[in-house]
A and B are shown apart, each in its own frame.
Chain A
Amino acid sequence: MQKYMRWSGMLVVLMLVLAACQSDGGGASEEPSSDGGEPSASADGGSGSAADCDADEFGCIELAEGDPLIIGTALVITGANESLGLDSQYGAQVANSLRPEVAGHEVEFNFQDDGCSTEGGTAAARALVSEENIAGVIGTSCSSAGIPAAEILSAEGILLVSPSNTAPSLTAPETHEPFYARTAHNDSIQGAAMAQFVCEVLGLGSAATIDDGSAYADQLAAVFASEFQSQCDGEITAEEAVTVGQTDFTGVLENIAADSPEFLYFPIFVAEGALITQQARETSGLEDTELGGADGILTPDWLAAAGGAADGVYLSGPDLAFSGDFYADEFLPAYTDVSGESEPISVFHAHAFDAYNMLADAIEEVAFTDGGTTYIPRTALRDAFMATSGFEGITGTLTCDENGDCADAKISVSEVVDGAFERIWPE
């Protein structure tokens, strides 16, 4: 396994070097229909004609010679959860720095803020829709923003690839929007993994959950609760909700403490997560209760905000124990260059990196040139993306299903030990 990972890491590096050197980015080695190679080939990489654009329900992205190819982002880049979105944005920028040209056009970003809210997602999506010729969007950070954004962008035939949306409903068959895909794991996996960890590793039999009403927390808490009950016959003592922006959780915690659960699961975001951590430690009746959260607070910001109370908290999140050299040798230095941070500020940079490259591959697969103008048919782009199979990225080998779930989901659980995350499960 180790060896395999290293080998695939090398392959990624090779891909990227190729992509960086050659304008056509022939790195899509696993894409059978893409015929990389000399620049001239990229001129009509995907064979097509203007008729294809008329046939395509949403038409083509048309780029005159020298026009930039615009990729939008809709990530949370301000406010309490900015580390989540900025981290993904840096991941995409790193991918861009290694692969600045796609289909013979320089890539330019249009950065929007999803505000980690439904409203922010709506506003960001609307702003991106109004950008002419936008090729695709990387985002959103938060599931609550992803739900309206997917709806809006799908109506315009714009592909939205999220590096960190995890709510199950986004890719559930009945609610999936056609132009939505994600490289992040689905919470039906994360919630189940956490439930398994709590009963099998920690050996606890009762739990309470707190969500903040957001799509992410609401669904993750629900998955955890149902898995905890069905997988290991655990008891859920309370399913509470708090409000974003609240600072005083005494009442909620006392209410939960009335049933003295053995585990308290709060898969929410940084500001409230830190306060609940601290206040739970000071609530009598919860002294012996273990605390746990999810990837929303798996960031140094939360550690700093929760201070000493964070020690001993269990957090689930994507498994970043990539064994490939590429991550340590190439990605992290480039990340530092782009962001000015000494280490990643959250956990979804690799997913954004993969999202960028998958998007770029799909674009190059379907793009064709006619009289100096590059055409990218939108529906074909979507189909090519959804057909991605066996893509070797940093986060694993990604294969998309028809509902846009592309992640090679690996969940790990970390414990906070002396103010730092320590990966403890699976061994």
Chain B
Amino acid sequence: MSPMVRRALTLGLFGGIAGIHVSLVGIVNTFQTRDLIADIVTIGSVIPMLIAIMVGWLAGRAPRHAAELAAPTALGAGAVAGAVTGTILALLAILVDSVSLTWILVNARPQLATILQFEQGPVVGSVLLIAGGAALGAAGAVLHILPGAIARSIAMAGIITIIVALMEPFIGAVLRNVELRAIEGFLYDSGGLTLPGFILVFALIGAGVYGWATRGDRARARVEAMPPDRRRAAKIAVYLATIGILLILPQIVGQRLSEVIGTVGIYVLLGLGLNIVVGFAGLLDLGYVAFFAVGAYTTAILTSPASPVFTPELPFWGALPFVILAAALIGLAVGAPVLRLRGDYLAIVTLGFGEIAREIFKSAWAQPVTGGAQGILSIPEPIPFSRDPQSIYYPILFFCILAAIAATTLASSRVGRAWNAMREDESVAEATGVNTIKYKLLAFGLGAAFGCLGGAFFGAKIGVVFPDSFNILVSINALALIILGGMGNIAGVVLGAFVLVGLPELLREFAEYRLLIYGVVLVVMMLLRPEGLLPSRSRRAELHEVKDEDDDDMYADEVGEETGRPVVTA
């Protein structure tokens, strides 16, 4: 068997496994209720197709260190891989249909078979699946044959069009909100895009991407050719425009979307804070939620009439200084015991702290103060702002901007350089006179401040605090978003928060699979692009430098040995 065929078969097999996974996890069933093109194609049935295209694309790619494949070879490889994937899915559909497995696999319902077989019955359906898989696999491979710009435009247009279709409830709401009902009616119908809407969106985005790919350089060159003063003016104009848009954003997007943006904002605060601890100082803190919880509970205890401990009740803004004070204390409380720990140990101990915090808040012992499992209700609104998502957006935005400015300033300051040194090599940093204890505590303190602030707004935004809101998943959310966005980089944090917190809120069907997708994102990012989507320059250099070095020395145990054990720094 030629290696090309073998590779295609293997890829097809992996595609089939991926297809089985998304089917049995329930993604296909869930998205069956959503139309991509109204009454023609559902998103549920598009997912297996996308896998086939993906597999075909991979199969048609030239092997490493080899020239581009000839067109027929690439097409053939793509078709073979797609057909294998299709065959596996066809077998799955038949199996699900004929054997009752629902007592084990809750999603292996006959409905799944129906979707996979395009509602055509087992025989026609299977043929369609295999033939369709081959065709789509070949279509995926075609992307290699087409000129790069065109292929990229098509791929991007496809992905974005699907997202546009998925976001129907929200884009629709926005369009209604700004009184563009006509456009909404043209684009959407019964929860999906209309056929003309589909074509229009696809064409527009394709053209846009193509335009940027072919003319983008020229535009960039023109900007660079501008005289410095005009460039600065343009920059300021862009900033002003951004701020202007941010200020009127809630009015444009309406209630529901503002709510989502508010949540994203809170996670931006968390991300910025955790970024100081993990991204700048290199201390992997898995118990970041403890800070978030302390912020929320401090606010609730001081301001809520439902909490008997502290009277008279402070207004929200009156409680904020105390929140910051609490942050400093908790930062020290978490920071001090772990000062001597490194790497993995630090991660586990902080994780323990996060769990301890939640368990204590939840317990009957703390109930008189924290309300136990029932939490604290009726946290007042941050007057003059109200709990209305279109209103509380503004203080959150303000603090996000403040935090971003603070983080940027810190990063390029003396403190930031000390953190950098500490992250790269603690012993060396210490030897060159960096007071690691001070800077570690400072990192924890600042991280705690941001986290507590996020917690305060979280409490004010939803009006209740409740111990189970503060579970390990908050820490993982925050960690995942800075990793996806690009550790150490502030723009990355914002991007990560939008993608990992915003999108799942918008794509309601995703909510159930959010953590599954996080898992995949974390693993894939670490395997392919550990520096994140928008990495900071130094971080990128760091990660790649180490990787390159270790290519020859597979086991790199000096890395492990140096930082692997809990080393006493004395």
B372's partner among A122, A151, A213 (CB-CB below 8 A) is A213
Contact B255 A243, beta carbon cutoff 8 Å: no
- Tell me the smallest distance from the CB of A423 to a CB of chain B, in Å: 29
Contact B374 A119, beta carbon cutoff 8 Å: no
Contact B373 A122, beta carbon cutoff 8 Å: no
B362's partner among A119, A122, A130, A243 (CB-CB below 8 A) is A243
- Bound Cα distance A130, B359 (Å): 33
Contact A241 B364, beta carbon cutoff 8 Å: yes
A144 within 8 A of B: yes
- Tell me the smallest distance from the CB of B527 to a CB of chain A, in Å: 31
B469 within 8 A of A: yes
A213's partner among B259, B374, B464 (CB-CB below 8 A) is B374
B469's nearest neighbour on chain A, judged by CB, is A119
A240's nearest neighbour on chain B, judged by CB, is B364
Contact B374 A144, beta carbon cutoff 8 Å: yes
A59 within 8 A of B: no
Interface string of B21-61 (1 = CB under 8 A from A): 00000000000000000000000000000000000000000
Return chain B residues, CB-CB under 8 Å to A122: 462-464, 466
- Tell me the smallest distance from the CB of B226 to a CB of chain A, in Å: 45
B536 within 8 A of A: no
A117 within 8 A of B: yes
A413 within 8 A of B: no
B466's partner among A78, A119, A218 (CB-CB below 8 A) is A119
B466's nearest neighbour on chain A, judged by CB, is A118
Contact B464 A148, beta carbon cutoff 8 Å: yes
Contact A151 B256, beta carbon cutoff 8 Å: no
A152 within 8 A of B: yes
B259's partner among A126, A144, A152, A214 (CB-CB below 8 A) is A126
A286 within 8 A of B: no
User: For residues 450 through 464 of chain B, which have their beta carbon under 8 Å from a beta carbon of chain A?
Assistant: 462-464
B525 within 8 A of A: no
B377 within 8 A of A: yes
Return chain B residues, CB-CB under 8 Å to A148: 377, 463-464
Return chain A residues, CB-CB under 8 Å to B373: 144, 212-214, 218, 243-244
B468 within 8 A of A: yes
- Tell me the smallest distance from the CB of A101 to a CB of chain B, in Å: 20
B10 within 8 A of A: no
User: For residues 54 through 111 of chain B, which have their beta carbon under 8 Å from a beta carbon of chain A?
Assistant: none
Which 6 residue pairs are nearest across A and B when measured between Cβ atoms? A213-B373, A241-B364, A118-B466, A130-B256, A213-B372, A119-B469
* Given contact pairs A118-B375, A147-B377, A213-B362, a sample of 12 additional A-B residue pairs in the complex whose CB atoms are under 8 Å apart: A78-B512, A118-B374, A118-B464, A119-B464, A126-B462, A130-B255, A130-B259, A148-B377, A151-B378, A213-B367, A241-B372, A243-B362
Interface CB pairs A-B, < 8 A, 27 = A78-B512, A117-B466, A117-B468, A118-B374, A119-B464, A122-B463, A126-B462, A130-B256, A130-B259, A144-B373, A147-B377, A148-B464, A151-B463, A152-B463, A212-B373, A213-B362, A213-B363, A213-B367, A213-B372, A213-B373, A214-B374, A215-B374, A218-B373, A241-B363, A241-B364, A244-B373, A244-B468
Residues of A in contact with B (beta carbons under 8 Å apart): 78, 117-119, 122, 126, 130, 144, 147-148, 151-152, 212-215, 218, 241, 243-244
Residues of B in contact with A (beta carbons under 8 Å apart): 255-256, 259, 359, 362-364, 367, 372-375, 377-378, 462-464, 466, 468-469, 512
